[in-house]
Structure 1
Amino acid sequence: MEQDGIFSQELVTQTTWLGEGTTLQNHDGEQRTPLTKIESSLCYLLTVRIIRARNIHQADVLSQSDCYVSLWLPTASTNKFQTKPVRNCKDPVWNETFYFRIQSQVKNVLELALYDKDVITQDDHLFTVYFDIAKLSLGEQVFMHFKCNPQRQEELEVGFALDNISGPPETIITNGVLVSRKICCLEVQVIEKKKKKKKKNSLSKKEFSFKVQGSYEGTQDTMLGSDLVFSSSSPVKFHYARYKQLTLDVMLPGKKPPPYSRSSVYDTNSSSPNVELHSLPSGKNVILAEDKGFDLYAKAEDCPDQLDIRLGFDLCMQEQDFLCKRQKYVAPALKKVLHLEKDLLDHETPVVAIMTTGGGMRSLTALYGSLRGLKKLNVLDCATYLTGLSGTTWTMSNLYRDADWSQKDLDKQISEARKHMTKCKINSLSLEYVKYYKKQLCQRKREGRKTSFIDLWGLVLESLLHDGKDNHRLSDQQRAIDRGQNPLPIYTAVNVKNNYSTLDFKEWVEFTPYEVGLQKYGAFVRTEDFGSEFFMGRLMKKIPESRICFLEGMWGSLFSLNVLYIWNSSHSSEDFWHRWTRDKIYNIDEEPLLLTKLHELRTRLFTPPGPLGSALRSALTDRLCIAQDHNFLKGFQMHNDYLENKHFCRWKDTVLDTFPNELTQSEDFLSLVDTGFFINTSVMPLLKPERKVDVILHLNYSAGSQIQALDQTCKYCSEQGILFPKVDLSEEDRKNLKECYLFDGAETPGAPILLFFPLINNTFQKYKAPGQKRSETEMEDGKVDLYGSCSPYSTYSVQYTEKAYDRLVQLGEYNILNNEDLIMQALHIAVARKKQKRK
């Protein structure tokens, strides 16, 4: 189909490792439309003429500013361009023209920054104008006046033109949010010529250096005359985006680095040639340089249009396959616990999820008790998902080492955890362990990872919770769900950004045994590939999958806090600090007023903070330590209509979502922290509409307020338009919580049913089991001090006594068993709704 000069076709066999094929049905039989497409999309020529500025305020003390304009369009070029500075002038005139080749399907935002040139100190950044190229119409020329400061009548005058460009359209892959563009592979090869036999001492090494700035590899060196003789079987390779029109810089042996050249042809007579890569014919060997001892060849080829990343918002095929298998366990289990006369059909079977919150070793321990209670009620077999964060991820990763854990009695698992929770922890800091930690961290660095204190914390956790080295990996847990025999585990984290508080910038990241991804962007990688290096959706460097202890350290990190997190722990808002921690960005007027389009961004002005503001912001937002992994979104670009995409909008909640140049795809690393640094909940993956979750068992293990995280979740979902049941608790209930609350979501059609289990010691003080009162000698066992000043269950406690461990497990189990009626009521409502919905 052709529309507006753009051709599109459905992607039939993209990322075959995730099973993408011609399937057009979800696991429940509903039709679905593949969202990821291969498209042939036109490129345009953007002409930008920097004309002049007026009434620029004086940045220097003794003279007027020496102004120049920097142009930055990362979707079109790796380089920043700039005009010549105009000395000592408040009304500088430049009249300089710049050209960019832009992709019509990409969100192109041009950044025009005005600087004052300084010889001694760093150039003063006066302001930056963000201009969305989508405002321009093809074939028209406009002259814009950006009103940068109406009070001082500062303005920047720029001319724009958008024209068609010769050449075929570009092939892109997109899911409507991210765009992967065409990449090429350049092979550079040195062939040594045969020489007459010489004496050994006359042999010398010849070093060659190759550089493609903006490519994945960057710079590579090779050598002739050594043991590593460069041969035709091992050429130097560079992967680069074809649209960038990059240059190969070559430094030959004994030559000085060549001056930068923008020549559009290659010169075989040059001593150190520079070659524009777009001038190389595709698929052909081209000689770049000839010498008495060697010849230098290059060949550029297009890479296949197949990604190693799954772009899409539906569930991956492995999860859909799991759901079909899990129904064979869930349907008969529900029939049994609900005492139904007939078997449940597929469309009548609700999706039940167990959701946990964090709380260090307290949550690790209490979850064992909760799961044992659910097991005794036969409700564990009714659950399809189990989600966790922080300490509950440590419990989950222990359980899923056993491929059939939910089909067995949990006493053995609980006893094993008891042994480690009560053992002396001082051994984890012994000299032997310290040497082991150092060896493991060095190995990770050699593999190409960026290590931090969080990795060390993961190793310490390994020693606290296991006997010796644990080789278990997250992808190994596929064995525990390959028959649908256990609920699917989902681990959560949030991606954050330097210089921003967690409330201002955070993105949900989910980990399953199948894949790791950011739902906001609809981008997922295989779990075994997480941490490897990617470029434009292609796997560039495979790094061995991390052992799960390193993920546990990140999921349950205590060390990623900052000053603003501490402030938010005791206050409900960080509004007081916004003037210091948020960018000063304003919508500005422009002349002429261009025709408004649905997906265009407002023109905005950024004013950089002063030294004091920058220092204070850094002090407030810098985190003590953070886990960083290679960003698998690196190289992608944002689609021109990404802000209109319903999937992106559902999770669009950061101050940078309307600044496409600064979103996650522009970063080299993901910066991952414990989800509890935003909201202490693992519910977000369950609210993904494609998972169709009907019932959520909310197991709360938070310290302090038991209702705070739930209130925060309700507020967040309301702001985001995510379906979530209304939590209506009286003041009396908030002061004296019961063991369980049922929120059926009747006032929010489509929302899941929520069963909320706060971690409290209510009737457990007098009852050792539902309906069984404690004797006088057993009353002491019911005294579980959860949150008092002398409580053994502090979030930062890493060792319990045997008695403290046993009591917490028993409390978690009791609170489940004592509310069997509410659990059954929720399941009955869910089944009835499924049947009614089908009718």
Structure 2
Amino acid sequence: MEQDSLLSQELITQTARLGEGIMQLNPDGEQWTSVTKIESSLCYLLTIRVLRARNIHQADVLSQTDCYVSLWLPTASTDKFQTKTIKNCKDPVWNETFYFRIQSQVKNVLELALCDKDVITQDDHLFTVYFDIAKLSLGKQVFMHFKCDSQRQEELEVGFALDNMSGPPETIITNGLLVSRKICCLEVQVVEKKKKKKTLEKEFSFKVQGSYEGTQDIKLGSELVFSSSSPARFHYARYKQPTLDITLPGKKRPPSFPSRVCDTGSPNVELHSLPSGKNLILAEDKRFDLYAKTEDCPDHLDVRLGFDLCVQEQDFLRKRQKYVAPALKKVLQLEQDLLDHETPVVAIMTTGGGMRSLTALYGSLQGLKKLNILDCAMYLTGLSGTTWTMSNLYRDADWSQKDLNKQISEARKHMTKCKINSLSLEYLKYYQKQLCQRKKEGHKTSFIDLWGLVLESFLHDGKDNYRLSDQQRAIDRGQNPLPIYTAINVKNNYSTLDFKEWVEFTPYEVGLQKYGAFVRVEDFGSEFFMGRLMRKVPESRICFLEGMWSSLFSWNVLYVWNSSHSSEDFWHKWTQDKIDNIEEEPQLPLKPHELRTRLFTPPGPLGSALRSILTDRFCIAQEHNFLKGFQMHNDYLENKHFRRWRDTVLDTFPNQLTQSEEFLSLVDTGFFINTSIMPLLKPERKVDVILHLNYSAGSQTQALDQTCKYCSEQGILFPRVDLSEEDRKNLKECYLFDGAETPGAPVLLFFPLINDTFQKYKAPGQKRSESEMEDGKVDIYGRCSPYSTYSVQYTEKEFDRLVQLGEYNILNNKDLIMQALHTAVAQKRQNKE
């Protein structure tokens, strides 16, 4: 058998750029800032010849394995293909050929699964080989021997060939990480010729496999006539070259699953054979005519692909600068105005902690307000309980310009009221009605949505129609810091240690910074396909987002274990996939953007059951995935933005990343690290000073230590945190880490939530009298503390004391805050020079 030479070359892309640095328009006609490119890129013909396997181990008890090979290349086809089954043979020979049309700019990873056919039970999955098509050379044929088990000498032999294709190249849109491919729209119309007074109802069924719509039915009868103004529409990716399956009235509907034989007596049409823009007759009958027309969709995306800040946030920064620069001059008592390049970006970062964090944040902000530091802040980030405080504050368009006593009084009213009424029959009926309405609107509901409604009753007087996009009014003049809310996207059957992706929410947009993909906040929860908005779903009320941001019900066994032990390492052998790099002949040279050939061996029944028990979450908030349909760029692993946030076990498995999922699975960031700092470490935000307000239960330094470790592993600039054992045992109210040992890192002020000098001082420099000593006894973390993370009600005295403690700890460390700001200004000036 003739083999290819050992030399390999990178896939020839030969792209002709049609546009670069494209400025896209969002649905409101405003410009997105984007680094997206519209390119014309070649497609290739991939030929795969499955030859044979050798020495396959016996999977059945009484006979040899009944082998077949399944081929899965999702970047080229929605269908899985498979060879014929060779019965009772350990050395099966298939010699079958398959063809795929692949896009050269996409990361194409072929999955070859060897399976054992079983008649009664589910087929046994023996192993899967992952092969990166980018390793092939254009115009050459190669026969690969995949060494699947060296001890048993199992191997799979497959031939590959990559050739040019005739026809024009494909237009793609990419940010160098995600790729959106050409979308077409098919319109199908049924026109009834004769309409009698009494006619039986006739039903047509149309199906386009892999399209956004899937299947649509049309009914014709005495009262229902399908008009030309409302044809059935299907949106599909052109590269899939799908078929329109038609079931005429009185005929049997085709089976849902692919079948070699499917005789329904109805026409099927290959869509790539239809000329674009022409209305064609597919079927003629004495009762009706069937028309179809296909057209290319515009090269416009409703998802913003890019890594820069959106136009709205950039505009906000310019407006906020007019507040920040004078405030810093006043606070630091500077003689001259600060120039733009001398003005540091100051951010307030909070951690979660239920009602404790909600309450303490009011006190911290009150202290910052009294020091005039609040006007110096550009950003305010939160997760879990602090998002409840933030969403309340931003209802007032000028909250940071006012005294916070009114806001605090309103929070006290709801924190001290009896919560048992929230579980009354009246409220339960209200919850059911709201969940039904939410489902009817198109959202996927879960127990997390019920939790959001309960929070609404805890923190408000009745139904709250407020939405995240309404907060744009509170930042339209730059009058308040920009709020950023955080969550993480997780995946079923994986712990958060193995898979998590940072998600950020602002009043402008929601996005995954790892992929450089963002949508307008009004469109979050709507249905997208290949970056296009397919179905608009009403924006969620903010109570549902609050429920998701603080989804304490999304725990699993591994999280409980991790909370009481130092790590999940003990369970990793039960919850991680068994993936091994395997040998192949010939050994093709590995380029930087190419993936090693790997072998996946599925776990046994016991391992699968144990993994499910350990990793399944009680409940997850799910939203329609706006990355659905995108594909990973061939060079995505070399993209500097992706490398920054590349931290999951699936990052080198492009077929299994988020763009392949129907829904985003969003949970509280605290299920990984109790911090909202990650959006502030995005280089484009250029944050210089971070006020780290910690409200965690238990260890006050754990979240900070975890952040330091994570940033070190990811190569993210972060100041070195050096706390002595004495400090860790007896924490002070504030620590300053100036980042001198890590140039380019932000200055960090760390405020643990502790009760230290507050016990003796009611205000900085003002000692308590004997009668006031009781007010200084704030038991935050004791066994009998009223401030447990799971407490939902405080007395007025408990609420007031926690607010006062939060305020005091800020005011008592004014000097350290001023030192941090002076350091940041000096660094800005030095960097400019």
TM class, shorter-chain normalised? Answer: over 0.9
Q: Does the CA-based 8 Å contact 1:723-1:748 persist in structure 2?
A: yes
Q: Using the alignment, how far apart are the partners of 2:595 and 2:694 within structure 1?
A: 41
3-state SS in 2 of match to 1:729: coil
Alignment check: 8 A CA contact 1:18 1:317 kept: no
Q: Match for 1:700 among 694, 703, 727?
A: 694
Aligned twin of 1:251: 247
What amino acid is the match of 2:671?
F
CA distance in 2, matches of 1:257, 1:794: 58
Distance 1:529 1:598 in 2: 37
What corresponds to 1:29 in structure 2? none
- Shift in Å, 1:479: 0.3
**Structure-1 separation of matches of 2:551 and 2:13:** 50
- 1:324 aligns with 318
1:464 aligns with one of 423, 443, 458: 458
Structure 1 residue runs of 4+, over 4 Å off? 17-23, 258-263
User: AA paired with 1:428?
Assistant: S
Question: 1:446: Cα distance to partner?
Answer: 0.6
Give yes or no for contact 1:18–1:318 (8 Å, CA) kept in 2: no
Partner of residue 14 from structure 1, selected from 24, 27, 30:
24
* Aligned equivalent of 2:6: none
Q: Which residue of 2 aligns with 1:590?
A: 584
Q: Does 1:486 align with 2:480?
A: yes
Do the aligned partners of 1:70 and 1:112 also contact (CA within 8 Å) in 2?
A: yes
Unpaired segments of 5 or more residues in structure 2? 1-11
Q: Measure the CA separation in 1 of the matches of 2:155 and 2:663.
A: 37
Do 1:214 and 1:246's aligned partners in 2 also have CA atoms closer than 8 Å? yes
- Structure 1 residue 240 corresponds to structure 2 residue 236: yes
Question: Does structure 1 residue 476 correspond to structure 2 residue 476?
Answer: no
1:215 aligns with 2:225: no
Equivalent residue, structure 2, for 1:362 = 356
Paired letter, 1:593: Q
| Residue 167 of structure 1: aligned partner | 167
Q: Partners in 1 of 2:665 and 2:590 — Cα distance?
A: 36
Q: Which residue of 2 aligns with 1:411?
A: 405
**Alpha-carbon offset, residue 434 of structure 1:** 0.5
Task: Label 1:759 to 1:4 Cα distance change in 2 as closer, same or farther (>3 A).
Answer: same
Query: SS of 2:57's equivalent?
Result: coil
Contact persistence 1:258–1:273 (CA under 8 A): no
2:228 & 2:564 partners in 1: Cα distance?
A: 65
What is the SS of the residue equivalent to 2:344? coil
Alignment correspondent of 2:74: 74
The CA distance in 1 between the partners of 2:361 and 2:26, in whole Å, is: 37
Contact map agreement 2:277 2:293 (CA 8 A) in 1? yes
1:653 and 2:651 matched? no
Distance 2:698 2:142 in 1: 60
In 2: Cα distance, 1:687 partner to 1:272 partner: 58
- Shift, 1:259, TM fit: 8.4
Tell me what 1:600 maps to.
594
Q: Is the 8 A contact 2:504 2:510 kept in 1?
A: yes
Q: Are the aligned partners of 2:349 and 2:693 in contact in 1 as well (CA < 8 Å)?
A: yes
Q: CA deviation at 1:204?
A: 1.6
The within-5 A match list for 1:749-788 is 749-788=743-782
Establish whether residue 727 from structure 1 lines up as the match of residue 721 from structure 2: yes
Per the TM alignment, residue 571 of structure 1 is displaced from its structure 2 partner at its CA by 1.5
Q: What is the Cα deviation at residue 262 of structure 1?
A: 12
Given that residues 18 and 310 in structure 1 are in contact (C-alpha distance below 8 angstroms), is that contact kept between their aligned partners in structure 2? no
**Does 1:616 pair with 2:610?**
yes
The residue that corresponds to 1:281 in the other structure is 275
Deviation at 1:18, TM superposition (A): 8.3
Task: Tell me, in whole angstroms, the C-alpha distance in 1 between the residues paired with 2:21 and 2:830.
Answer: 36
Do 1:12 and 1:21's aligned partners in 2 also have CA atoms closer than 8 Å? no
Aligned-partner SS, 2:606 = helix
Query: What is the DSSP-based 3-state SS (H/G/I as helix, E as strand, rest coil) of the residue aligned with 2:172?
Result: strand
Greater displacement, 369-378 / 575-584: 575-584
Residue 19 of structure 1, CA deviation = 7.7
Deviations 1:215-267 (A, max 9, x none): 0000000111153320000000000000000000111111223589999xxx9
Corresponding letter in the other structure for 2:25: T
Counterpart of 1:504 in 2: which secondary structure?
coil
Distance 2:433 2:204 in 1: 34
Matches of 2:379 and 2:223, distance apart in 1? 56
SS at match of 1:616: helix
Correspondence for 1:430? 424
Aligned-residue offset at 1:805:
0.2
| Partner Cα separation in structure 1 for residue 337 and residue 258 of structure 2 | 73
Once the two structures are TM-superposed, the CA of residue 271 in structure 1 deviates from its matched residue by 4.9
Partner SS, residue 160 of structure 1: strand
Q: 1:97 to 1:394 in 2, by over 3 A?
A: same
C-alpha separation between the residues in 2 aligned to 1:275 and 1:178? 31
Aligned match of 1:83: 83
Secondary structure at the aligned position of 2:361 is classed as: helix
**In the superposition, relative to structure 1, how do residues 492 and 95 fare at CA in structure 2: closer, same or farther (>3 Å)?**
same
Q: State whether residues 758 and 808 of structure 2, in contact with CA within 8 Å, keep that contact through their aligned partners in structure 1.
A: yes
> Do the aligned partners of 1:402 and 1:480 also contact (CA within 8 Å) in 2?
yes
**How far does residue 293 in structure 1 lie from its aligned partner after superposition?**
1.2
Instruction: Return the alpha-carbon distance in structure 2 between the equivalents of residues 690 and 389 of structure 1.
Output: 21
Normalised by the length of structure 1, the TM-score is 0.96
Q: In structure 1, what is the Cα distance between the partners aligned to 2:16 and 2:756?
A: 64
Alignment of 1:41 with 2:41, yes or no, is yes
- CA distance in 1 between partners of 2:255 and 2:462 (Å): 56
Give CA-to-partner distance per residue, 1:429-454, whole Å, 9 cap, x none: 11110000000000011111111000
Structure 1 position 598, deviation (Å): 1.6
Range 123-132 or range 592-601, more displaced: 592-601
Return the alpha-carbon distance in structure 2 between the equivalents of residues 271 and 292 of structure 1. 17
In 2: Cα distance, 1:675 partner to 1:258 partner? 45
Which one-letter code corresponds to 2:480 in the other structure?
Answer: N
SS, match of residue 648 in structure 1: helix
Q: Which residue of 2 aligns with 1:805?
A: 799
Deviation at 1:15, TM superposition (A): 3.5
Change (3 A) 1:801 1:243: same
Match for 2:599: what amino acid? L
Q: 1:259 to 1:409 in 2, by over 3 A?
A: closer
Task: Give the Cα–Cα distance (whole angstroms) in 1 for the partners of residues 85 and 825 of structure 2.
Answer: 72
1:726 positional shift:
0.2
For residues 755 and 698 of structure 1, the distance between their equivalents in structure 2, rounded to whole angstroms, comes to 6
Cα distance, 1:553–1:72 mapped onto 2, change above 3 Å: same
1:4/1:205 CA distance change after superposition, 3 Å: closer
Q: C-alpha separation between the residues in 2 aligned to 1:808 and 1:348?
A: 36
Rounded to whole Å, the distance in 1 between the matches of 2:32 and 2:764 is 52
Superposed displacement of residue 358, structure 1: 0.1
SS at match of 2:357: helix
SS of 1:114 mapped into structure 2: strand
* Count of aligned residue pairs for this structure pair: 818
Distance 1:748 1:358 in 2: 27
* C-alpha separation in 1, matches of 2:549 and 2:50: 48
Answer yes or no: is the 8 Å Cα contact 1:262–1:276 preserved in 2.
no
The DSSP-based 3-state class of the residue aligned with 1:152 is coil
Percent sequence identity over matched residues? 87
Q: 1:406 to 1:443 in 2, by over 3 A?
A: same
Give the corresponding residue for 1:833: 827
Q: Following the alignment from structure 2 to structure 1, what is the Cα–Cα distance between the partners of residues 574 and 132?
A: 27
Shift of 1:272: 1.4
CA contact (8 A) 1:129 1:603 kept: yes
Q: Residue 536 of structure 1 aligns with which residue?
A: 530
